């Protein structure tokens, strides 16, 4: 029913995008340097030329919805975007990397100014613009490079520009995260496209991860919001890289309605199919986020089955992929299954640990390491061969019921500390 295709955020009908290097991080660093160091000290010239400013546009006003971080410390871009989405409408997105615009006295002013800039360049109302930022917290956002960068993108947005937009929202990400898929709704082919960023400070808990999703499905704003909240629970909210929930997490979706399907205004079969499609789309992006965790070498997928309730399965699966000890063991290809049991034990789920079975699986095969809560004999050599792969499944059978859940994480490496030891400086 769902088919993944080539493309990204511009795949659905009506959408174009672009991304450009505006020098936001360099301008931020220059301002900090001017305020904090002696004038006679030699300064390094910035060499980073990665795109850092993106625009996404639809040629019609869209129904729109979003979910945001539950961290009490939030970027002011979230405050502004929430206000703009009160009517369930949006037509454009402006987003920068290199500066989070968080914990700044002028944060709301700068976020609103970004919307005004997008409004001028794209010819839309400022209140129909979604705004987001990602990067270093607590440093003043320089608006001049954003204004110049947006002006440089005037008239350049295109279908091909979606991949540039995907690059522009990256911070410590090493690869772009894009996705496009089609599905059938009411006899019409509907397309969903999206981009995402996130590598560190990833412990998604929504309503520094950003995701912008577009669709040409006809869906009311109310049902779009409902679908977004349902789909996020089994996808993005099951990702953790380091246990830190970002201040800027934003997942926004715009629906142009150009596919021609009968508008979804209630929770009918088309609604359920749409939620299923969004969930699969978000899972693909969620796995890309986890696999590209800061310093990561392996994607970890924890599949829990046999739980008494869905809530218990979620608690157990997330506890396991959040365990620093387990993540370190996976980096070292060490089948230390005791760390899995330990994480289950403090997960908060009501589990009979005497029933728990654990296995590790990858492209190299499967090794059973624990039965009924106790260790069993297995080949350490075979286990290491399995755990040296780039994608590892941690299979946990609880034996308490029929509920299941799946969580996504990564290994914990030396490079994670190196990246975050001097992230700001």
Sign of the dihedral defined by the CA atoms of residues 304, 309, 315, 316, in that order: negative
In whole angstroms, how far apart are CA 219 and each of 139, 191, 259, 391?
Answer: 39, 13, 10, 36
Query: 241 φ, ψ to 5°?
Result: -100, -45
Please count the structural domains in the chain: 2
Sheet order of strands, 365-371 included: 374-375, 365-371, 357-362, 391-397, 299-307, 403-410
Active site residues: 208
Are residues 222 and 276 located together in one domain of the fold? yes
Last residue of a domain, one of 273, 291, 309: 291
Q: What is the pLDDT of residue 72?
A: 83
Do 49 and 146 fall into the same domain?
A: yes
Same domain, 88 and 178: yes
pLDDT tens per residue across all 425 residues of the chain: 899 999 999 999 999 999 999 999 887 755 544 444 444 444 444 445 889 999 999 999 999 999 998 788 889 999 999 999 999 999 999 999 999 999 999 999 999 999 999 999 999 999 999 999 998 889 999 999 999 999 999 999 999 999 999 999 998 788 899 999 999 999 999 999 999 987 655 455 544 478 999 999 999 999 999 999 999 998 988 987 766 566 778 899 999 999 999 999 999 999 999 999 999 999 999 899 888 877 789 999 999 999 999 999 999 999 999 999 999 999 999 999 999 999 999 999 999 999 999 999 999 999 999 999 999 999 999 999 999 999 999 999 999 999 999 999 998 888 877 877 776 66
pLDDT at 325: 93
Identify the pLDDT of residue 364. Answer: 98
Q: Are residues 170 and 61 in the same domain?
A: yes
Mark which of 257, 291, 325 sits at the end of a domain.
291
| Max CA distance (Å), the chain | 69
Residues 6+ apart with CB under 8 A from 97: 24, 25, 50, 52, 53, 133, 134, 135, 168, 169, 170, 171, 197
Residue 44 burial (CB count, 10 A): 7
User: Any idea what the Cα angle at residue 114 is, between residues 112 and 118, rounded to 5°?
Assistant: 115
| Among 291, 317, 336, residue at a domain's last position | 291
CA-nearest of 396, 341, 344 to 368 is: 396
pLDDT of residue 47: 47
CA atoms within 13 A on the CB side of 211: 35
247 plus 324 within the same structural domain:
no
pTM summary value? 0.88
Instruction: Say if residue 316 is in the same domain as residue 226.
Output: no
Per-residue pLDDT tens over the stretch 363-417: 999 999 999 999 999 999 999 999 999 999 999 999 999 999 999 999 888 887 7
Q: Residue 405 sits in a domain of what CATH number? A: 3.10.20.340
Domain span including residue 416: 299-421
Residues 54, 58, 61, 64, CA torsion sign: negative
CB 98 within 8 A of CB 24: yes
Given a contact cutoff of 8 angstroms between Cβ atoms, the answer to whether 306 and 400 are in contact is yes
Measured in whole angstroms, the distance separating CA 60 from the mean position of its chain's CA atoms is 26
Decide: 81 and 95 in contact? Cβ < 8 Å: no
DSSP string, 73-128: S--HHHHHHHHHTTTSEEEEEEEEESB---S-TTHHHHHHHHHHHHHHHHTS-GGG
Q: Which two tokens stand for residue 182?
A: 């089609």
Beta carbons within 8 Å of 36's beta carbon, 6+ residues apart = none
150 and 31, same domain (yes or no): yes
CB within 8 A of 73, min separation 6: which ones?
A: 102, 103, 247
275 and 305 share a domain? no
Could you give the angle at the alpha carbon of 198 between the alpha carbons of 258 and 149, nearest 5°? Answer: 65
Q: Based on the domain organization, do 317 and 404 belong to the same domain? A: yes
For residue 249, give the CATH number of its domain: 3.60.70.12
Question: Are 321 and 285 in a shared domain?
Answer: no
Identify the pLDDT of residue 36.
44
DSSP labels for 286-319? HHHHHHT-TT---EEEEEEEEESSHHHHHHHHHH
Kindly state the tokens that stand for 178.
Answer: 């894009």
Judge if 89 and 30 occupy the same domain: yes
CA-closest candidate to residue 93, choices 145, 183, 157, 137: 157
Considering the domain architecture, whether residues 310 and 367 belong to the same structural domain is answered as yes
């Amino acid at each position: 029913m769902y088919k993944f295709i080539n493309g990204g955020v511009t795949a659905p009908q009506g959408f174009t995008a672009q991304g450009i290097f505006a020098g936001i991080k360099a301008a931020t660093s220059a301002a900090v340097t001017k305020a904090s160091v002696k004038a006679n000290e030699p300064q390094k010239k910035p060499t980073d030329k990665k795109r850092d400013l993106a625009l996404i546009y639809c040629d019609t006003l869209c129904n729109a919805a979003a979910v945001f971080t539950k961290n009490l410390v939030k970027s002011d871009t979230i405050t502004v975007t929430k206000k703009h989405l009160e009517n369930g409408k949006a037509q454009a997105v402006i987003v920068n990397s290199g500066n989070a615009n968080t914990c700044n006295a002028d944060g709301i002013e700068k976020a609103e100014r970004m919307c005004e800039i997008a409004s001028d360049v794209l010819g839309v109302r400022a209140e129909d613009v979604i705004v987001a930022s990602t990067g270093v917290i607590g440093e003043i956002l320089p608006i001049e490079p954003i204004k110049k960068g947006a002006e440089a993108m005037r008239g350049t947005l295109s279908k091909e520009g979606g991949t540039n937009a995907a690059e522009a929202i990256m911070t410590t990400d090493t690869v772009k995260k894009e996705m496009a898929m089609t599905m059938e709704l009411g006899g019409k082919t509907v397309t969903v496209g999206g981009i995402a960023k996130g590598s560190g400070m990833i412990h998604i808990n929504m309503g520094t991860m950003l995701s912008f999703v577009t669709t040409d499905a006809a869906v009311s704003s109310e049902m779009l919001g409902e679908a977004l909240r349902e789909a996020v629970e089994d996808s993005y909210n099951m990702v953790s890289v380091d246990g830190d929930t970002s201040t800027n997490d934003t997942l926004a979706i715009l629906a142009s309605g150009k596919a021609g399907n009968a508008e979804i205004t209630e929770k009918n079969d088309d609604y359920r199919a749409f939620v299923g499609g969004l969930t699969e789309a978000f899972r693909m992006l969620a796995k890309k986020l986890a696999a590209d965790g800061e310093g990561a070498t392996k994607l970890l997928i924890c599949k829990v089955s046999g739980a008494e309730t869905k809530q218990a399965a979620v608690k157990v699966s997330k506890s396991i992929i959040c365990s620093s000890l387990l993540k370190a063991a996976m980096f070292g290809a060490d089948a230390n299954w005791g760390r899995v049991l330990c994480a289950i034990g403090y997960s908060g789920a009501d589990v009979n640990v005497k029933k728990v079975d654990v296995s590790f699986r990858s492209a190299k095969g499967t090794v059973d390491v624990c039965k009924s809560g106790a260790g069993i004999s297995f080949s350490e050599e075979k286990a290491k061969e399995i755990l040296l792969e780039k994608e590892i499944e941690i299979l946990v059978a609880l034996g308490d019921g029929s509920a299941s859940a799946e969580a996504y994480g990564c290994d914990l490496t030396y490079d994670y500390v190196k990246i975050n030891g001097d992230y700001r400086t």
